[in-house]
Amino acid sequence: MRLRSRCALLVLAVLPVAAAHAAELRFSRDGTEVKRIDAAALRAACGEQTVTVKDPYYDGATKHYRACPLVAVLRLGFGAPPAPADDVVFHASDGYARPASGRALATPGGWVAFADADLPGGFAPIGPRKIDAGPFYVVWTEPGQDDPDVWPWPWAVVDVEITDIDKRWPHIVPQGVDVDSAAWRGFQVFRRECVACHAVNREGGSVGPDLNVPQSIVEYRPVQQLKAYIRSPQTFRYGAMPSHENLTDADMEGLIAYFNVMRTQKYDPAATRGDGEGRRPRHDPGAAP
């Protein structure tokens, strides 16, 4: 569920993306492509440099990447940087969907890496499955930006989308709850920590199973077991699901409250069709609750 985790992921059903490892970057607004730039043109136009990075996905090792400033890449793709209030979603070739705010992405330190400067032919294998981080890997260079819980570090990026997540994925938003409620707090936790890998009501990431349909996670897991699993999944089974020690007790209570609300607000168009179309397969059955 955690955003810093990069599990084996699948292509979002709602957003066609380029084939894995294609050397081009797609730019879109609300799911509609506005521009597509191949790697060579992007590197020529955006001021490529060699940057030094403390990389959390290589155990904090110092890495050197050939990269372009993130702000320059976004300006080249969209004609102007995202507005501070925009949601920007980095879509990976395998379906990971990492959201970030336009405000955060305007902060100095963001880069789009094309290759490891010390290796021929790309990147060292990355993540628990040791996959290729290309064609594009978002990295950060300033002190304190090596925490993927705070800063987006998506790899295998093929599409950058400007959108409003709550409108793009309206069925993840709990209806009829107060913004001061535990359920709303839990929605914000889900939006921040979980949506990159998980869907609710078939909307969101696709690395792990949907957490609300056909059954909500709280309909088949006891609450205390679910909390324990979210905090330390490796004590239950080995897989790509990371631990979530960063979540407070209030965050965890909020998540449970959110799941309890959403189990009364199910939306499953595939089930309505009765044909199973659009159901999300999984690469890694150990990646989710």
Residues 6+ apart with CB under 8 A from 191: 99, 165, 172
Q: Does residue 283 have a pLDDT over 50?
A: no
Determine the angle formed by the axes of helices 249-262 and 182-189, rounding to 10 degrees: 100
Give the model's pLDDT for residue 177. Answer: 94
Residue 157 confidence (pLDDT) above 80: yes
Query: What is the Cα–Cα distance from 158 to 137, expressed in whole angstroms?
Result: 9
Alpha-carbon dihedral angle through residues 15, 17, 20, 23, given to the nearest 10 degrees = -150
| Local structure of 131: helix, strand or coil | strand
Q: How far is CA 73 from the centre of its chain?
A: 19
How wide is the angle at C-alpha 28 spanned by C-alphas 22 and 34, nearest 5°? Answer: 95
Tens digits of per-residue pLDDT, 9-29?
333 333 333 333 448 999 999
Q: Would you say the C-alpha torsion 100, 258, 184, 234 has a positive or negative sign?
A: negative
The one-letter amino acid at 278: G
Per residue, the 3-state secondary structure of 232-263, as one string, reads CHHHCCCCCCCCCCCCCHHHHHHHHHHHHHHC
Here the tokens at position 158 are 């093929």
Q: Read off the pLDDT of residues 243-259 as tens digits, 9 standing for 90 and up.
A: 888 899 999 999 999 99
Q: Which of 128-142, 157-171, 236-250, 268-282 has the lowest mean pLDDT?
A: 268-282
pLDDT, position 205: 85
Rounded to the nearest 10°, the torsion over CA 271, 272, 274, 275 is -70
| pLDDT per residue as tens digits for the range 159-203 | 999 999 999 899 999 999 999 999 999 999 999 889 888 999 999
Cα angle 7, 12, 17 (rounded to 5 degrees) comes to 100
Give pLDDT tens digits for 78-111: 999 999 999 999 999 888 889 999 999 999 999 9
> How many residues in total does the chain contain?
289
**How far is the C-alpha of 158 from the C-alpha of 115, rounded, in Å?**
15
Which structural domains are found in the chain, ordered by start?
24-163 (3.90.420.10), 169-271 (2.60.40.420)
The pLDDT value recorded for residue 139 is 98
Nearest CA to 217 out of 193, 201, 205 is that of 201
- Dig out the tokens for 242 from the structure: 């990371």
Q: Are 234 and 243 in contact, with CB atoms under 8 Å apart? A: yes
pLDDT greater than 60 at residue 58: yes
Q: What is the pLDDT of residues 205-233, one digit of tens each?
A: 888 889 999 999 999 999 999 999 999 88
Rounded distance between C-alpha atoms, residue 136 and residue 179, angstroms:
37
The answer to whether the Cα torsion of 268, 274, 278, 284 is positive or negative is: positive
* Least confident among 13-17, 205-209, 262-266, 277-281: 13-17
Mean pLDDT for all residues in the chain: 85
